Amino acid sequence: MGEINQENIKKALVIRLSAIGDIVLTSPVVRALKAAGFQVNYVVKRKFKNAIEHNKYIDRLYTLEQEGLREELLAQKYNLVLDLQNNLKSLRLRKGLSQNIRVVNKENIKKLLLVRSGVDLLNDQHVVERYFKALNDLGVQDDGEGLDFHIPSNLNRIDESISFNLSTPYLAWVIGASYKKKILPINHVIETCNHIKLPVAIIGGTEDEANGEEIVRQTKYQNIYNFCGKLSLLESAVLVKNSCLVLSNDTGLMHIASAFDKKIISFWGCTKPSLGMSPFRPNKHSVMITSKTHKAPCSKLGNRCKSRGNNCIEDIQNELIIETVNRLLKIN
């Protein structure tokens, strides 16, 4: 066989710098570009590299912080650059990298209108659909297969390292989020766990450790396990993947659960599914429990709440959570 002529290879660069959930939501686009015959390269911030580094459809992964990045990207002579971040950093990065640069429309004006006035012009369009809209005329199409999240085979069994049985039925509960106002209060978690006889794996970052310990301490059953701050993202994903039901705030692991086609109960307060960041093509039995305090989102990111005193996510009723958990556990 002769050598491959590198000049004949179609090269695409995808830019999505942050954060975990947003990066996972780019996976259908990456897969579609690969199916369309592109060599796919990807740029991400180093701290979020683990959300995409094992994706089998990516040929080369760069981190934003690596030395000589611009020079390396310029040398690649990309046929297509797809900026799915669309901010000042990605603008500086993409400049001059290709004659064909596509940028996602984040619909920020429509989001602002929804938050400020309650006028919804987004028409239930998911962010993944916005990503594909930037490629409409190139014939790169969504294959309908949902999200990808790849775990290395050596991590698929972590029972011994974490002293937890992955083969017995259990629930995974993701108790953290990027902003405190997006977090379901721990008293809701405790009350629900007091009505669940199955083991529950509590998952979160180091900032959630104290809340995890409090949940374990105040729950009447002895089968609640606090993994907050003890696991990597990939190890947390293994717990999510092997669970029979996932409960989660609006956060990255919720999207990873969707990639694994898990039944998900997600909780929404300051942010709302109408912003386009709900689980993408989730398991058909998944449920989104949304605070009724405000019909419109309080903020685009979940960093502000319109309610005075309590955050609106606190208004979600424990009884509804418990009823939903019991109902979904009966579904195989």
Asked if 290 contacts 273 with a C-beta cutoff of 8 angstroms, the reply is yes
Nearest to 126 by CA among 275, 297, 261, 289: 275
How far is CA 117 from each of CA 123, 127, 294, 299, rounded to the nearest angstrom?
Answer: 15, 21, 12, 11
**Residue written as token pair 């009823």:** 323
Mean pLDDT of 129-141: 95
Give the tokens for residue 316: 């979600």
Nearest to 9 by CA among 42, 41, 43, 37: 37
- Kindly report, residue by residue over 211-235, the tens digit of the pLDDT: 999 999 999 999 999 999 999 999 9
Domains of the chain: 9-138 (3.40.50.2000), 153-329 (3.40.50.2000)
Q: Is the confidence at residue 1, as pLDDT, over 70?
A: no
Amino acid occupying residue 268: W
Looking at residue 48, what DSSP letter applies? G
- Kindly report, residue by residue over 19-62, the tens digit of the pLDDT: 999 999 999 999 999 999 999 999 999 999 999 999 999 999 99
Nearest to 272 by CA among 111, 131, 121, 85: 111
Give the tokens for residue 215: 């949940």
- Kindly report, residue by residue over 302-327, the tens digit of the pLDDT: 999 998 878 999 999 999 999 999 99
Give the pLDDT of residue 161: 76
Give the tokens for residue 38: 């592109």
